[in-house]
A and B are shown apart, each in its own frame.
Chain A
Amino acid sequence: MANMDTTALEPQLPSSYDVTVFEEETRWVKVSGAIRRNVLLFAGSLLILAIVLFAVAGSLIIDEKRTEVGFAHAERETADGSIKEVVAPRLKPSGEFWFGTDQFARDIFAYVAYGTLGTLWMGLIAGIIGIGIGTLLGFIGGYFGGWLDAVIVVLSDALITIPGLMLLITISAYLDQLTVEQLGILIGVISWMGTTRVVRAQVLTLKNRAYVEVSKFNGQGDMEIVVSELIPNLAPFIAAAFVGAVAGAILLSIGLSALGLGPQNEPSLGLMAFWFIRFGAVPQGMWWWFGPPIVVIAIFIVGLFMITAGLDQIANPRLRTSV
């Protein structure tokens, strides 16, 4: 209310005055009400936004050279008393290097920013592909039924039990270097099953509702019904599945990369995990090396979880009163 445009309160024309205030007020009430009713969705979105901003702005502003091996230099006194510029690995956080430098004298702050961007990009690709395949198969199975549905159900039931990380390890052990994009595609292709289940179950309950029957009697085709009747009703479910898919993909990619099987040439949080595990950041007590990526991952995943929970509340009203 404090930020409300006060010019609207000035009495010019009685009629417009009433209407403006009324509209402004209801809109504000609506927005604040929606936020209050869905704190989780709102707070989760804020967390994600913060991480995305950090990654995008960071990688735009910071020179990419800072993420290269041997970037950091510092002045040191040599044995003969002269001051020389030497490569400076394992520096603690300072004004020049906000998160310090790692074993290879890379600027950790810069690396985390670029790495977060790489990981987000990978998760986005995986999420879109997974959700695309999953929604399509879910619709086909749920709407048309028959043997096609049976095949989809059995296949997704079987695949969902095979741990994704195991499948990824098998595939990538035989592949040459993966790029971030290829890994995204790969993860998307193997993680559509959850979405298929959710979408299929919803389509099954929706397709016999009265309004779908009405559309059929009105002579609408299958495609039209799917687009105009089913998709709008499924949107919150698909959105929640998408968020879950992105979170799952990011965790998978980090696990794979931490084993040294992910993309090796582009910065990512997973590759960073590989470095700090392999080169003993923990025994060396370099908390500034392993701390920042863990914090970024935690914030991001918590944010995605909160969004999923918020979307669930929209899709499933019974949960609404409980949180």
Chain B
Amino acid sequence: MTVDYVLRRLGMFVLIIFVAGTLNFAIPRLRPTNPVEERMNQLLQQAGGVHIANVKEMIASYEERFGLNNPLWRQYLNYWIALAKLDFGQSIAYFPADVTREVMRSMPWTLGLVGVTTVMAAVIGSFFGAWLGWTRTPIAVSFVVPLLLIVTAVPFYLLGLLMLWVFTVFWPVLPGGGAHDPLIAPAFDLTTIIDIVQHAILPGAAIILSSVGFWGLGMRGMMVTTMGDDFIKLAEFKGLKERRIFLRYAVRNALLPQVTGLAINIGFVVSGSVLVEVLFAYPGIGNLLYTAITSNDYFLIQGVLMYVIFAVGLMLFIVDLIYPLIDPRIRYRSA
């Protein structure tokens, strides 16, 4: 792994943040009228008594931060300076709550749910796909593959909806929403953990079910290609045990592109989990974004999006750094 390679990947990461940040800056300004000012004037009209002081304070803080009377380049510069300090301003709906604090409060739930389920889906799917690519029995190919296609085709949230119906209405065995029982005082004990796991089963299963197909089909494709390679033939001719050929020769090599698959899949999983969280009222980032949208809380929307893109970019960067460590064939200088 060369310094050059790491620098180039880092450059990419910075570029992603730059593009996303610039879009985030530019899009609200494409409108002839400023939506934030509109929203605040609206609040000013609605608010009476105690709230009016709040709204005025909000407007003052907003103008101080963004100085819309400044020239555009100055606004742009201020915007990046604020971003660098992780300062996304204050939420409009929960004024004077800090956007960053709101995001940080929701982040652990999403990381836990999406992180655990993604890893589980990747492991289950990859080995399932490896088996499908290895056996090539007609039953596997003609029944399991279409089944995988179908569960992959239905979006996360719609699959989640079906499961919600089956397990909370039709056969009510699982809780239908939230991340934990509000009646149980949060503590680090067994009851709390069981409760949290119980609440995570349905949204988690929705994510796993619909991404297992993605991993399985990808792995199967790679296995088929790998099995046609000469080194497999050689291993067969050498009379190696099937198990060894399967694990050490076929799976080991077919698994590598799955790591890149992880990179491609992250953005997809994050987007999908937004909707899953909304559906299951799971108090993560997706739900926060949803509330922000429904209450026109522009700062919160911007903040959540920038954090999500930052997280996705960071994970891609990490995957890019891990990849050459596990795939010795790759020489990055030429890539």
Contact = CB atoms under 8 A, between A and B. Distances in A.
A287 interface: yes
B312 A174 contact: no
Given A170-B305, A277-B278, A285-B169, A158 B149 contact: no
A93 interface: no
B5 to A, nearest CB: 15
Contacts of B161: 276-277, 282, 290, 294
A162 B13 CA distance: 11
Interface stretch (A14-22, A210-218, A253-261): A253-261
A7 interface: no
Interface string B298-327: 100110010011001100100000000000
A26 B187 CA distance: 75
A282 B168 contact: yes
Interface string B22-56: 01100110110001000000000000000000000
Interface in A239-281: 251, 254-255, 258-261, 273, 276-277
A81 interface: no
A285 B267 contact: no
Given A170-B23, A259-B275, A285-B165, A163 B155 contact: no
A174 B23 contact: no
A125 interface: no
A277 B12 contact: no
Interface string B245-260: 0000000000000000
Contact of A165 (B27, B30, B271): B271
Interface stretch (A64-72, A98-106, A139-147, A301-309): A301-309
A283 B150 CA distance: 25
B68 interface: no
A89 B321 CA distance: 57
Interface stretch (A53-61, A222-230, A315-323): A315-323
6 contacts: A161-B16, A161-B312, A162-B20, A171-B27, A173-B301, A323-B145
- The interface centre, meaning the residue of B20, B153, B221, B270 with most chain A CB atoms within 10 A of its CB, is B153
A158 B279 CA distance: 30
Given A162-B23, A165-B274, A170-B302, 19 more contacts: A154-B15, A161-B267, A161-B316, A163-B271, A166-B271, A167-B23, A173-B298, A173-B301, A174-B30, A255-B155, A255-B271, A273-B158, A282-B169, A283-B176, A287-B165, A290-B161, A294-B162, A297-B154, A323-B141
A157 interface: yes
Contacts of B145: 323
- The interface centre, meaning the residue of B161, B296, B316 with most chain A CB atoms within 10 A of its CB, is B161
A314 interface: no
Interface residues of B, number: 59
Contacts of B165: 282, 285, 287, 290
B122 interface: no
Contacts of A166: 267, 270-271, 305, 308-309
A158 B15 contact: yes
Interface string B220-260: 01001100100000000000000000000000000000000
A169 interface: yes
B74 interface: no
B19 A162 contact: yes
Nearest to A251: B155
A190 B17 CA distance: 17
Contacts of A159: 19
Contacts of B152: 305
A57 B23 CA distance: 41
A260 B294 contact: yes
Contacts of B105: none
Contacts of B146: 302
Contacts of A34: none
Contacts of A285: 165, 169-170
A298 interface: yes
Given A173-B293, A277-B278, A162 B312 contact: yes
A260 B293 contact: yes
A318 B223 CA distance: 12
Interface string A165-184: 11101110111000000000
A164 interface: yes
Contacts of A158: 12, 15-16, 19
A318 B226 CA distance: 11
A279 to B, nearest CB: 13
Contacts of B309: 162-163, 166
Contacts of B279: 277
Interface in B136-179: 136, 141, 145-146, 149-150, 152-155, 157-158, 161-162, 164-165, 168-170, 176
A315 to B, nearest CB: 13
A255 B157 contact: yes
Interface string B54-88: 00000000000000000000000000000000000
- The interface centre, meaning the residue of A155, A165, A254 with most chain B CB atoms within 10 A of its CB, is A165
B326 to A, nearest CB: 21
A301 B308 contact: no
Contacts of B308: 163, 166
A166 to B, nearest CB: 5
Contacts of A277: 161, 278-279
B94 interface: no
B289 interface: yes
A152 to B, nearest CB: 13
A301 B154 contact: yes
A170 B27 contact: yes
